[in-house]
Structure formats: C-alpha cells, structure tokens
C-alpha cells in the first residue's frame, strides 16, 4: 500500500502548493491544507508534522522537477542564446501569479533565518546558479560573444537583480515591461564590448 500512500502524499503536496502560492507561508495553517485537500485532520499528520515540513518537501520536489536550462541546452547554442533562454525562463516565472511560490519561500527563509536556522540548501542553490552563469559568461567571453572583465561579478549581479525583481513582483507588483527593461540592461552590459 506504499504506492497508494505515495500517491496520497503527492496529492497533498500538489494541493498544498496552490495554497502556499496563494497565501504565502505564515498564513497557511494545517487546517487550510486539510480543507484544501479534503482529507481528515488526523490524516494529514500521518504524512507531515507541520506546514514547514510540507513546504520543504514542495521546494525539494520543485527543484527536482525543474528542468535545468543549462543542462538542457545543446551544443549548437551560443552562450548568448543560453543566457537569453535562461532570462526568458526567469521572466516567465516572475510573471506567473498562480503557482508562484516565491513569496512563500521568502517568508519561509526569513522565518528560518530569524530563528538562526540555516538555509544552506537555498544558499547553495544561489551559489551554484552563480557558478553556472559565471562559466557561461566565461565561455561567451572566450568565443568573443560577450565582453566582460569580471564574469563572476556579472553573474552575481544578474542573480541579485533577479532576486530584486522577485521581491518587486511580490510586493509592489511588476509589469512585463519592467522585467524586459532589466533583462535587456543585463544583456546589453555583456554585449557592450561589441560596440
């Protein structure tokens, strides 16, 4: 029956994801999830102890499922193409209001951090993204596509801007145009050497 259990657990995660996307992290109660899943109060506790654990598994699961732009990219793509695809991907995520977990994740990370619990995983995710971008930019520089003195600095700059955009999207709101402006600015900075 472990199969059935796994399916139920997945059902909970899928449903809970919508709840987190809608209400963030702190406002979501076990009761909310129980009701959204239409299962019994006790039933939820068989699988998860609290909302924290649920969100963690959702994040974990997301990370696994998220197909990596970089690993997917083929040999015949230039660094510029890959970066463009990556940025387009980010834009899509920034604009998705439904299903957008970023606010929930921020709230969750704020909360962990304020309790002095580390969020190593998220930090790693950030650094590894920086690493990948760094390599990409280096490649671009090598084959003359990009012009950049400090690939790592540029990579970090891109990632911080993306964080900033996520925040803007979860607070004041952000338009498609706003995002384009930022992403174009980034691209043009790397291509500036062409001039």
Partner DNA sequence: TATGAATGAGTCTTCATTCAT
Partner DNA sequence: AATGAATGAAGACTCATTCAT
User: Which of 18, 36, 39, 111 lies at the binding interface for DNA (CB under 7 A)?
Assistant: 39
Q: Give the integer Cα–Cα distance in Å for 189 and 148.
A: 8
Name, in order, each residue with C-beta under 8 angstroms of 194's C-beta and a sequence gap of 6 or more. 147
User: Which of 10, 14, 40, 113 lies at the binding interface for DNA (CB under 7 A)?
Assistant: 40
Task: Report the residue number, 24 or 140, with the smaller CB distance to a copy of itself.
Answer: 24
What is the C-alpha radius of gyration for the chain, rounded to an integer number of angstroms?
19
Site string for DNA, 42-81 (x = CB under 7 A): xx-xxx-xxx------------------------------
Cβ atoms 165, 181 nearer than 8 A:
no
Binding site for a copy of itself (CB under 8 A): 22-24, 26-27, 103, 106-107, 109-114, 118-119, 122-123, 126, 149-150, 153-154, 156-157, 159-168, 170-173, 181-182, 184-186, 188-189, 192
Shortest distance, position 25 Cβ to DNA, whole Å: 11
Number of H helices, E strands in the chain: 10, 0
Name, in order, each residue with C-beta under 8 angstroms of 195's C-beta and a sequence gap of 6 or more. none
Q: Give the integer Cα–Cα distance in Å for 84 and 187.
A: 8
- Contacts with DNA by CB under 7 A lie at 1-2, 4-5, 8, 29-31, 39-43, 45-47, 49-51
């Amino acid at each position: 029956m472990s199969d059935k259990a796994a399916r139920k657990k997945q059902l909970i995660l899928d449903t809970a994801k919508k709840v987190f996307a809608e209400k963030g992290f702190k406002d979501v109660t076990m009761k909310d999830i129980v009701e959204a899943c239409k299962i019994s109060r006790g039933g939820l506790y068989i699988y998860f102890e609290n909302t924290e654990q649920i969100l963690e598994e959702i994040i974990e699961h997301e990370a696994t499922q998220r197909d990596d732009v970089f690993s997917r990219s083929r040999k015949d793509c230039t660094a510029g193409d890959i970066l463009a695809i990556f940025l387009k991907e980010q834009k899509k995520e920034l604009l998705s209001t439904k299903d957008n977990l970023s606010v929930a994740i921020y709230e969750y990370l704020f909360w962990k951090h304020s309790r002095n619990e580390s969020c190593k995983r998220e930090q790693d995710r950030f650094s590894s993204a920086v690493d990948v971008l760094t390599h990409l930019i280096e490649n671009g520089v090598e084959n003359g596509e990009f012009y950049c003195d400090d690939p790592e600095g540029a990579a970090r700059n891109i990632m911080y801007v993306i964080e900033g955009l996520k925040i803007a999207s979860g607070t004041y709101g952000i338009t498609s145009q706003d995002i384009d402006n930022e992403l174009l600015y980034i691209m043009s900075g790397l291509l500036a050497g062409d001039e």
